[in-house]
A and B are shown apart, each in its own frame.
Chain A
Amino acid sequence: DGGITQSPKYLFRKEGQNVTLSCEQNLNHDAMYWYRQDPGQGLRLIYYSQIVNDFQKGDIAEGYSVSREKKESFPLTVTSAQKNPTAFYLCASRMQAGLAGQETQYFGPGTRLLVL
């Protein structure tokens, strides 16, 4: 059963704590993305990776970090430097097949992060 999985579904963070959100895909996609969604707003890009061991900052990368050690996995760490982490986090992947005009992004079910 192919797809993208995110865990956990809900995550609670204490002040000063770093937390890591998991994203795994078995679609054999090259590119992976992390988005943040706040109520009443669209998705905003945090980080993306087009190939293993390489990643780029998106529009709101401050306070976040990522790694891409395996093609299937793209974990996101929300650091203590992120002062307003409460949001819905979505991971996506895309087949890196030529131009972006030809391939859609596939999304995971999301992780809701709450601050205690």
Chain B
Amino acid sequence: KQEVTQIPAALSVPEGENLVLNCSFTDSAIYNLQWFRQDPGKGLTSLLLIQSSQREQTSGRLNASLDKSSGRSTLYIAASQPGDSATYLCAVSVRSNTGKLIFGQGTTLQVKP
């Protein structure tokens, strides 16, 4: 059974720091891995989607990597800003035609001015 784990559960950093969020999964037979952002009491917003054949994706100050063999993904945030404060969730898609996602518990990030 696929399990997704995110460490740490919470992170607090001063503004301007570069930071890395971690995601690990137990079954390497995935079709894609996605990173989402969730603001308090809101829905999820997709940040990056990495297909199983890819190693990384970039969008602005965000860079996500995928290592299927080790069951790991990282989300790198460069030059963090207070507006980056949110919960970040990773999820893996494990079946080809259903789109079912298995989510990690999330990392809650606080960027202090």
Tell which of B93, B100, B104 touches A58, judged by Cβ atoms closer than 8 Å: B100
0/1 interface trace, chain B 29-44, chain A, CB 8 Å (1 if under): 0011010100001111
For B44, give its contact among A6, A44, A50, A90 (CB under 8 Å). A90
Q: How many residues of B contact A (CB 8 A)?
A: 31
| CB within 8 Å: A-B pair count | 83
Name the one of A42, A99, A108 contacting B103, with C-beta atoms under 8 angstroms. A42
Cβ of A114 < 8 Å from any Cβ of B?
no
B contact residues around A31 at 8 Å (CB): 98-99
Docked-complex contact A107 and B106, CB < 8 angstroms: no
Neighbouring A residues of B31 by C-beta, 8 Å: 99-101
Does A112 belong to the interface (CB within 8 Å)? yes
* Chain A binding surface, main DSSP class: strand
22 A-B contact pairs sorted by A residue (CB < 8 Å): A33-B99, A40-B105, A42-B89, A42-B91, A43-B91, A48-B100, A50-B99, A96-B99, A99-B97, A100-B32, A100-B100, A101-B31, A101-B32, A101-B93, A101-B96, A105-B99, A107-B36, A107-B43, A107-B44, A107-B45, A109-B43, A112-B41
Q: A residues engaging B (CB < 8 A)?
A: 4, 6, 31, 33, 35, 40-45, 48, 50, 56, 58, 88, 90, 92, 94, 96, 99-110, 112
